[in-house]
Amino acid sequence: MKYIDGFLLVVPKKKLAEYRTLAQKAGKVWMEHGALDYHECVGEDVQTGFGIPFTKRVKAGKGDLVVFSWITYKSRAHRDKVNKKVMQDPRLLAMCGKPMPFDMKSMSHGGFEVLVDL
């Protein structure tokens, strides 16, 4: 079964272009080190009236966008191997310590075993 790293975060609308640039660079690093795929998605229909809306869940403000992201791997072991390489990549290290176009403290992240894969 596959393994997924999932992310949920808030990006100020005025910083979306900056976030996209950062995400494209990061995605390239993950893919080059073996991730199966890499996705960054901006909420478009998140006030559906079913359950708790993502905007409420992440406490998004008036000028904020919800971003849902995931990276797919072959397994947890594969994820750990890829992430070890990613975290040592000079391109990613160059991003560390710089201001991010989102609040890292409000980001949610977790590793997930795929339950259903059709």
Q: Determine the pLDDT at residue 103.
A: 85
User: How many domains are contained in the chain?
Assistant: 1
Q: What is the DSSP string of 16-53?
A: HHHHHHHHHHHHHHHHHTT-SEEEEEE-SS---SSSS-
Range of the domain at 11: 3-98+105-113
In a domain, 118, yes or no: no
Distance of CA 13 to the CA centre of its chain: 16
CB 56 within 8 A of CB 32: no
How far apart CA 109 and CA 111 sit, in angstroms, is 7
Label residue 95 by pLDDT band (50, 70, 90). confident
Q: What is the pLDDT of residues 5-17, one digit of tens each?
A: 999 999 999 999 9
* pLDDT tops 90 at residue 1: no
Among residues 48, 58, 64, which one has the least CA distance to residue 7? 58
In a domain, 87, yes or no: yes
Q: What is the pLDDT of residues 22-39, one digit of tens each?
A: 999 999 999 999 999 999
CB 69 within 8 A of CB 39: yes
Instruction: Report the CATH number at residue 69.
Output: 3.30.70.100
Question: What share of the chain has pLDDT > 70, as a percent?
Answer: 100
